[in-house]
Amino acid sequence: MISQHHISVLPDTVHGGNTYEKDVTERCMHQSGKTLQALISEWISKFDNKELDRSRLQLNNVDAITSRTYVCNHCYNKFIDFLVYWFRISTPRHLLPPDAANRDSCWYGFMCRTQHHRPDHARKLNHVCRPTRGNP
């Protein structure tokens, strides 16, 4: 059951495997003063209350999923990726670390392929955003 999982580290799959964005998110979470488990629990509540757009959640029957749904570890990690994305895009820019706060968003957002093989591109532009060009 989703609500019974315990999480102490973010999965490597967060932000599509972009390690720079994962680091930025971890620093934002640390700055909040809450444990990862507490933050995830908050976002699970928002999910249960249908406060989040579920269109990016890459699981079957997304409208039927709640905190009481049983999922495998692979699907749980996808669920965590989804919640972490929402945490991050909901974080006001002024609360981002200085090295991340003033970046422009990549046109291809989370769909950008370049972010995975060019670390300089991953750092230069924000990839925790929706695509504005290309085929979202």
Q: State which H helix or E strand residue 99 sits in.
A: helix 98-101
Q: Side chain identity at 59, as an amino acid letter?
A: L
pLDDT confidence of residue 67: 97
pLDDT confidence of residue 31: 94
Mean pLDDT, residues 5-10 taken together:
96
Cα separation values, 100 from 2, 28, 48, 77, 112, Å? 31, 10, 30, 25, 17
pLDDT at 136 > cutoff 70 = no
What are the tens digits of pLDDT across the range 36-74?
A: 999 999 999 999 999 999 988 999 999 999 999 999 999
**126 phi, psi to nearest 5 deg:** -75, 130
What are the tens digits of pLDDT across the range 90-99?
A: 999 999 999 9
